[in-house]
Amino acid sequence: ELLLTNTLVSLFAGVMPIPGGIGVSEAAIAFCLTAIGIPSATAAAIALVFRLLTFYLPPIWGGFAMRWLRRQAFL
């Protein structure tokens, strides 16, 4: 069920004309999780934490990595 949820949300967010599916993905994840029986408050928390870890934080880590690579003259 979770794999299907993730696949459907990715497909849905991909066809929406919103860059990165911001807001759309969170709402769709929460909706799908609620549809499979998870309480709505828990589903919303799961959706926000999932998107935080997979979409919002990686650019920050990449910025630190890019700065380190430039200091070491690898780039």
Task: Please write the tens of the pLDDT for every residue from 18-70.
Answer: 888 889 999 999 999 999 999 999 999 999 999 999 999 999 999 999 999 99
Residue 25 has phi, psi (to 5 degrees) of -65, -45
Residue 38 has phi, psi (to 5 degrees) of -85, 135
Are the beta carbons of 44 and 30 closer than 8 angstroms? yes
Count other C-beta atoms under 10 Å from residue 12's C-beta. Answer: 17
Are the beta carbons of 4 and 39 closer than 8 angstroms? no
* Report field, pTM of the whole predicted structure over 0.85: no
Q: CA 53, CA 62: separation in Å to the nearest integer?
A: 13
Task: Check residue 53 and report its DSSP letter.
Answer: I
